[in-house]
Amino acid sequence: MPRLTFAGHLEVLLALTEADLRARYGRGPWRFAKWLLDPFALVGVYLVLVAVLLNRPGPAPGLSLACAVVPFQLLMATVISSMASIDDRRSIVANMAFPRILIPVAATLTEAIAFAASLLLLVIMMAIYGVGPTGALVWLPLVLIVNILLAAAVAYPASLAGLWVRDLRPFLVSFVRTLFFLAPGLVALDQIHGAAHDLIRLNPLAGVFESYRAVFLHGVTPATWQLVYPMAVAVAVAAVFVPIYRREQHYLAKVVG
Amino acid sequence: MSALIHVRGLGVRFQFDRQGRPVTPAAARIRRHCTSAWGLRGVELEIAPGECVALVGPNGAGKTTLLRAIAGVLAADEGSVEVQGRLGPLLSVEAGLVRLLTGRESCRLLCAMAGLPRGRVRTLLPELQAESGLAEAFDRPVSSYSQGMRARLGFTAIAYTEPEILLLDEVHEALDLEFRELLEARVRRIARDGGIVVAAGHDHEELERLASRAVLLEGGSVSADGHFAKVARAYFDGVEAATA
């Protein structure tokens, strides 16, 4: 494998991501519209339904739900994309020597760019409920970084799982979906009481969802645990799975070749 | 340039699950009833600067596996592969080509993978389009290309990375006459400049034009190595004896 500098790694990463985005959004004037409309097709209709038709408890229930659904969508899309990431790049993996450790990062980067458009859903929800922006938005970059880092960390075990247990991919997707329901997704954390309240906080998604609510819904600084805990989980997952992936990357061509 | 390939006792092993699907060693450890087969075993090969070598042998003999091991795509399970020089691998007509991308986008990806900075690739694209001879098809998705057009695109992109070691796996056989001449000229230039060309395939006439030395692979190991005509004769004798 050629020894690449940091700049060389970055070039390969950008080339992989650019190729993914071209393949997904195509080319021409409609690609921007497709990028912008994709999140609406995925979750927008559901959110509008909840916001306009269903009578749910709590302040701005549609916005509260969007604060969970939007960040979760990044994680879910990254997991699905990562599980197929090696197979999807078969022609490159089987024929070219390059740092394959970048494949899950490229999948995350692609999904993060796609995810950027779904932030517009939060803005629309704010407008529907008449919730104005506050100074707490200065925390948004940090909240996004935590969200993206968690997705990037999970991309490594997802890629390996897609390779090791291909038949179980649908179950793994269901497992990740279950994590949404075991987090304060449909109901905000302050509406959950007793032992469930403390248990649910163990789910790293709880911190992510609540930090989005803090910034967009309540207009307050996210609590420290809401950012530190998911970040710590991301570091722990990466510490375990990146070295395993690093070893496995030498054998990827044998599996997909 | 002074390229070198030194293969010492190379072994490449493939592991399979009980349904016969290839798995990685880690997956084989956590699964039961895995089997394994050596794609290459005990391969010794030294290729000096300026040499053009043809890999011949029946299907499944290990030609592609050896090329992939030299390219650094497959890891050695035994022995080692030492390579000095910038590699230009064309290991498949599909190599590095993503069906949904256009020829232009594929060129960008291929060149970036081969180590060319993206800024430089952008300036080279008009030249690449002209050299590939794909004209307006350069901006059409690769999925609409014929095998020959894909081979042209891959060869043109790899040629622009100025490889010191060119690895060809049957790709030359998909090229038309015009491009074969270009390929032969490129091969001669690489060899003259002290580079190396290793080509595998079944079109022996074409291989003989590219290479003076041949290596016969059978059952994952080297069974003959020497002058092209002599090794090819040994291969044909073996085929005749087996079918007689």
Measured in angstroms, the CA of B230 and the nearest CA of chain A are apart by 31
Give residue B217's pLDDT: 96
Mean pLDDT of B105-110: 88
Instruction: Name the percent of chain B lying above pLDDT 90.
Output: 52
Give residue B178's pLDDT: 81
Nearest chain B residue to A25, by CA: B100
Overall number of domains in chain A: 1
Question: Please, what's the b/e burial string for A221-240 (b: 16 or more CB within 10 A of its CB; e: otherwise)?
Answer: ebeeebbebbbebbeebbee
Chain A interface test: which of B18, B31, B73 (most A C-beta within 10 Å): B73
Interface touch A23/B101, C-beta < 8 Å = yes
Q: How far apart are CA A233 and CA A48, in angstroms?
A: 32
State yes or no: pLDDT of A1 exceeds 60. no
- Identify which of B54-68, B92-106, B116-130, B178-192 has the greatest average pLDDT: B54-68
Please report the domains of chain B, with CATH numbers, ordered by start residue.
4-8+42-243 (3.40.50.300)
Measured in angstroms, the CA of A86 and the nearest CA of chain B are apart by 13
State yes or no: pLDDT of A50 exceeds 80. no
Q: Does B166 touch chain A (CB under 8 A)?
A: no
Q: How far apart are CA A60 and CA A57, in angstroms?
A: 8
Tens digit of pLDDT for each residue in A208-247?
A: 999 999 999 999 999 999 999 999 999 999 999 999 999 9
More confident residue, A57 or A137: A137
Give residue A56's pLDDT: 67
State yes or no: pLDDT of B1 exceeds 70. no
Q: Does B126 touch chain A (CB under 8 A)?
A: no
Contacting B residues, span 31-70, partner chain A, CB-CB under 8 Å: 68
Indicate the pLDDT class of residue A55, thresholds 50, 70 and 90.
low
Interface touch A92/B109, C-beta < 8 Å = yes
Does residue A223 fall inside a structural domain? yes
Interface touch B72/A253, C-beta < 8 Å = no
Q: Does B27 touch chain A (CB under 8 A)?
A: yes
Tens digit of pLDDT for each residue in B44-67?
A: 999 999 999 999 999 999 999 999
Give residue B195's pLDDT: 94
Does residue A1 fall inside a structural domain? no
Closest CA to A219 of A208, A211, A228, A207: A211
Give residue A144's pLDDT: 97
Interface touch B24/A8, C-beta < 8 Å = no
Mean pLDDT of B190-201: 94
The structure tokens 């699905």 sit at A80
State yes or no: pLDDT of A143 exceeds 90. yes
Give residue A57's pLDDT: 66
Mean pLDDT of A164-173: 92
Give residue A91's pLDDT: 87
Nearest chain B residue to A100, by CA: B73
- Identify which of A149-153, B153-157, B210-214 has the greatest average pLDDT: A149-153
Interface touch B30/A164, C-beta < 8 Å = yes
| DSSP helix/strand/coil, B102 | strand
Give residue A242's pLDDT: 97
Mean pLDDT of B171-197: 87
Between the CA of residue A253 and those of A212, B56, B72, B74, what are the distances in Å?
40, 22, 10, 6
Give residue B188's pLDDT: 92
Question: Of A27-31, A99-103, B87-91, which range is least confident?
Answer: A27-31
State yes or no: pLDDT of B172 exceeds 80. no
State yes or no: pLDDT of A42 exceeds 90. no
Find the chain A residues whose C-beta atoms sit closer than 8 A to any C-beta of B: 1-2, 4, 7-8, 11-12, 14-16, 18-19, 22-23, 27, 89, 91-92, 94-98, 163-164, 166, 244, 247-248, 250-255, 257
Mean pLDDT of A70-86: 94
Q: Does B25 touch chain A (CB under 8 A)?
A: yes
- Specify the amino acid at residue A238: A
CB contact set of A44 (below 8 Å; sequence gap of 6+):
A121, A124
Between the CA of residue A70 and those of A39, A216, B154, B215, what are the distances in Å?
9, 12, 40, 58
Pairing of strands B196-200, B165-169: parallel
Give residue B241's pLDDT: 81
Domain that holds residue A218: 6-256
H-assigned helices in chain B: 25-30, 63-71, 103-113, 118-132, 147-159, 177-192, 204-210, 228-243
Tens digit of pLDDT for each residue in A101-125?
A: 999 999 999 999 999 999 998 999 8
The partner residue sitting opposite A95, judged by closest CB among B26, B73, B101, is: B73
Interface touch B89/A16, C-beta < 8 Å = no
Does residue A217 fall inside a structural domain? yes
Tens digit of pLDDT for each residue in B3-46?
A: 899 999 999 999 999 888 999 988 888 887 889 999 999 999 99
Does residue A107 fall inside a structural domain? yes
Give residue B101's pLDDT: 87
State the ipTM, two decimals: 0.85
Interface touch B97/A91, C-beta < 8 Å = yes
B-chain CB neighbours of A89 within 8 Å are 98
Give residue B92's pLDDT: 85
